[in-house]
Amino acid sequence: MAELILSDLRKTFGGGRAAVDGVSLTLRPGGFLALLGPSGCGKTTVLRMVAGFETPDEGAIRLGDRLLSSANAVVPPESRNMAMVFQSYALWPHMTVAGNVGYPLKVRGLSAGVVADKVGKALAAVHLEAFADRRPADLSGGQRQRVALARCLVTEPDVVLLDEPLANLDRHLRQEMEEAFRDFHARSGATMIYVTHDQAEAMALATDVAVMSEGRVLQMAPPAELYARPQGRLVGSLIGQGAILQVRDDGTSERGYDWPRLRACLGTAAGMPTVDVLVRPQDVEIGGDGLTATVESATFEGERHALRLILGDGQRLRAYSRLLAAAGDVLRVTIRSGWRL
């Protein structure tokens, strides 16, 4: 196993704006990286360059000491020992589950006995031993996705690439497949890159998350660090359910804000510089001697109500409450802490 290193990758299609613009990432052996961002941010193009389906205009991709891609030299996809799981599963409809899983091994010319043994182990790893003789049309969406995972596992790849693999599944199956991906990662030990626009998926699955926008990586960090210390307004707005407040710049270099300091800085004054402060719903306390806020909307989420609030200066805030609230109610809120972006 070796590090996967992406160095200053650039890719432009049709002479327009760069789809990927200077992306550099290093993924440790056995790591699980999620590329997170909105549609059109370049994450799938990065994945396709790693797979060998696209050639970078500039930059390089290396797996350890081995050069996989540059503007002048490209190792073909079939020679990279990588496996890819597509959103559409890409299963052969006329083959059985066992036939689909074993196909890459047959292409490599392995004997029938070796293929059968490896296929059996791969299907057992995704809990589909009993479905070996069925065809894809007889399976649920989650089961088809497990077949695609087993097909990856059977080839023992160095890197597994996943292109929004849960996009076609309902919420229940997504949760089930998240467990399958975690188990697959633990069993295979492979380095994994997972493309998604769903931040909940990225945070739940990955050991590291790279947030992308307009072809660039804005921040790469473990999920807990990304959540607690986002860098910049866009990362803060993409991660979690927080609200971004504009407050007066008090001239300090500290990134965190406690309640007394934040309260003193809230409310902008003409001509004064401002900074963006991210406030999470769980850091907003209803009641006390806090600020006056009007409930804009309230959504019941079972164990709590998710509130959208409007402060006196017109800025919006999110909060959680166990007590029933309705649009138009006037509350007091205390902001325990915030993070300067």
Q: Which residue has the tokens 């296929």?
A: 119
Q: Is the pLDDT of residue 197 over 70?
A: yes
Decide: helix, strand or coil at residue 211.
Answer: strand
Decide: helix, strand or coil at residue 136.
Answer: helix
Decide if 159 contacts 4 (C-beta within 8 A): yes
74 and 144 assigned to the same domain: yes
The verdict on residue 234 lying in a domain is: no
314 and 183 assigned to the same domain: no
Domain-ending residue, one of 162, 196, 229? 229
| pLDDT 10s digits, 299-327 | 998 889 999 999 988 899 999 998 888 89
149 and 258 assigned to the same domain: no
150 and 190 assigned to the same domain: yes
Q: Which residue has the tokens 């992308």?
A: 212
Domain-ending residue, one of 183, 207, 229? 229
Q: Which is nearest to 225 in space by CA: 242, 208, 241?
A: 208
221 and 246 assigned to the same domain: no
Let me know how many helices (H) and strands (E) the chain has, helices first. Answer: 9, 18
Of the listed ranges 186-200, 224-238, 255-269, the least confidently predicted one is 255-269
Long-range contacts of 38-41 (CB under 8 A, 24+ apart): 38/197, 38/213, 39/197, 41/212, 41/213, 41/214, 41/215
Decide if 11 contacts 60 (C-beta within 8 A): no
For 45, the domain range is 4-229
Rounded to whole angstroms, how far apart are CA atoms 184 and 299?
Answer: 36
Burial 246-269 (b: 16+ CB within 10 A, else e): ebeeeeeeeeebebebbbebbebe
pLDDT at 254: 65
Bridge partners, residue 83, by sequence: 160
203 and 310 assigned to the same domain: no
Q: Which is nearest to 131 in space by CA: 104, 99, 106, 103?
A: 99
| pLDDT 10s digits, 35-54 | 999 888 999 999 999 999 99
What is the strand order of the sheet 18-27 is part of?
18-27, 4-12, 58-63, 66-70
147 and 278 assigned to the same domain: no
217 and 284 assigned to the same domain: no
With bands split at pLDDT 50, 70 and 90, how would you rate the model's confidence at 253?
Answer: low
Rounded to whole angstroms, how far apart are CA atoms 269 and 264?
Answer: 12
The verdict on residue 140 lying in a domain is: yes
Q: Mean pLDDT, to the nearest integer, of 116-141?
A: 88
Q: HSE of 42 in the Cβ direction (CA atoms, 13 Å)? A: 24
Q: Which residue has the higher pLDDT, 205 or 87?
A: 205
Rounded to whole angstroms, how far apart are CA atoms 293 and 270?
Answer: 22
The verdict on residue 66 lying in a domain is: yes
224 and 252 assigned to the same domain: no
pLDDT at 170: 75
108 and 151 assigned to the same domain: yes
The verdict on residue 44 lying in a domain is: yes
Q: Mean pLDDT, to the nearest integer, of 49-74?
A: 93
pLDDT at 288: 75
Domain-ending residue, one of 183, 199, 229? 229
Neighbours of 97 (CB within 10 A): 27
158 and 283 assigned to the same domain: no
- For the chain, the domain total comes to 2
Q: Is the pLDDT of residue 256 over 80?
A: no
Q: Which is nearest to 327 in space by CA: 296, 306, 300, 289?
A: 296
CATH number at residue 8: 3.40.50.300
The verdict on residue 235 lying in a domain is: no
pLDDT at 252: 66
201 and 313 assigned to the same domain: no
